[in-house]
Structure 1
Amino acid sequence: MSEQKLAAEVRTEFGKGFARRARMANLIPAVIYGHGAEPIHITLPAKATTLAVRKANALLSLDVNGEEHLALVKDVQRDPIKQIIEHIDLLTVIKGEKVTVDIPVHIVGELAPGSVFNQELTVISLEAEATHLPTAIEVDIEGRSAGQHIHASDLVLPKGSVLLADADALVVHISEATEVSEEEAQADSAAAVAGE
């Protein structure tokens, strides 16, 4: 995962009033913390930042008054109605440093005919190098049939990543597709209508 470069400005004002004025000026309030250093309160350009944080665990290269900071997006607070970003928490990282992240699990491939799958885990916890975080872990279900399971220990992890989740955790469960005959479906819908 390559880092997104953004220019940041140090902020000295705080509170709802300042945050509202910053958002009206197309800026997003944020804080950089970690490694025992004092937190740095900044503002980021709204449009570029919104695009940069669309992916989980985005890595940002921030220019703060000429000083470069490498930071991982840890939390994005959004307005529940407008969905605009209200605040971002950023964790300082160092190249080569290992960090703990939750990576999305994506299912790829087609099952054997007559089978269906249920995805039990949508994210998996890993320890990986901060500058080489995977965007997703793919689970290949190609040709698998009913009765087969995929556990966390079966996942193919990127080089240098370590599984932090329970190795026995069920990721995908594959079962037989249950067919409902047309007559049964009609009988069920008629019973539902009669019960109203």
Structure 2
Amino acid sequence: MTDLFTLDAEVRTDLGKGASRRLRHANKVPAILYGEGKEPVSLTLAHNKVFRAQEEEAFYSHVLTLNIGGEAVECLIKDMQRHPYKPVIMHMDFMRIDATHAVHTNVPVHFINEEAAAKKGGTVAHHINEIAVTCLPGDLPEFIEVDCAELEVGQTLHLSDVKLPKGVTSDELAKGESHDQAVVTLNAPKGASDDAEAAEEEATEE
């Protein structure tokens, strides 16, 4: 799968909507590379290689390598425009990275042991599917695991409950406790809360 994260790119000088349209007809993807204080560079990539690579979840949070005229440039994918209904990638934005500079990006969440939680009689509800993080490129995880095994009915795990890999910090938590987002909840079965309230009322009347 590693070769999926290395893409060949060519510098393009023919810019504009018409040029981009011609590229797409030739099964090419127009793109731009920016960041690290350098001038943006307009690029062209082969659509079939890009399309295959982007089917891997890790593509969106993995350090990618662009081969541009013999030079290997490490970067992250920052934006991807797709055709509204065709399986076509319209445009891509790449951001240069430096191994010594921290990056800000979103990493997908993988929920594990959901079945164990559901056996307790509740339903698992996801509140987020990715976490905004800051770390050095070498510490960037492909995904972050959230273990639902210990969830009790009615309990919610927040960002502060998630164990992040070494060297990785949450952008939201860095803003303060008020940004401690809910991640996953084990909801009580539908009607269970009503039953509990009714039982409580009966006990009070007695």
Structure 1 pair 50–21 and aligned structure 2 pair: CA distance change class (3 A)? same
**Equivalences, count:** 180
Q: Is the Cα–Cα contact under 8 Å of residues 107 and 138 in structure 1 kept in the other structure?
A: yes
CA RMSD of aligned residues (A): 2.0
Matched-pair contact (CA < 8 Å) for 2:120–2:153 = no
2:174 aligned with 1:173, yes or no?
A: no
* 1:125 aligned residue: 132
Matches within 5 A, 1:84-123: 84-109=88-113, 110-111=116-117, 112-123=119-130
SS of residue paired to 2:21: helix
Matches of 1:89 and 1:39, distance apart in 2 = 10
Q: 1:83 aligns with which of 87, 91, 111?
A: 87
Q: Which residue is 1:67 aligned to?
A: 71
Aligned 8 A contact 1:119 1:171 in 2: yes
Task: Name the stretch that deviates more: 44-53 or 78-87.
Answer: 44-53
- SS of 1:20's equivalent in the other structure is helix
Counterpart of 2:70, as a letter, is G
**1:60-102, CA deviations, whole angstroms, 9 ceiling, x for partnerless residues?**
2112112221111000011111131011000001124311111
Distance 2:109 2:17 in 1: 37
Cα separation, 2, equivalents of 1:129 and 1:179: 47
Residues in 2 aligned to 1:51 and 1:160: alpha-carbon distance in whole angstroms? 30
> 2:62, 2:141 within 8 Å by CA — same for their partners in 1?
no
- Where does residue 53 of structure 2 map in the other structure? 52
CA deviation after TM superposition for structure 1 residue 33, in Å: 0.4
Distance in 1, matches of 2:45 and 2:78, equals 15
Residue aligning to 2:197? none
Percent of residue pairs identical = 35
2:195 aligns with none
Q: Deviations over 1:141-188 (max 9, x none)?
A: 1152213221101111111101112352211122221269xxxxxxxx
More helix as a share of residues: 2
Residues 16/58 of structure 1: CA separation in 2 closer, same or farther (3 Å cut): farther
| Secondary structure of 1:159's aligned partner | coil
Contiguous gaps of at least 5 residues in structure 2: 193-206
| Residue identity in the other structure for 1:123 | E
Pick which of 84-93 and 9-18 moved more. 9-18
Alignment deviations for residues 23-54 of structure 1 (CA, whole Å, 9 cap, x no partner):
12221111100112111111011111122233
**Hey, what's the Cα distance between the residues in 2 that align with 1:113 and 1:156?**
23
Q: Give the alignment's TM-score, normalised by structure 1.
A: 0.83
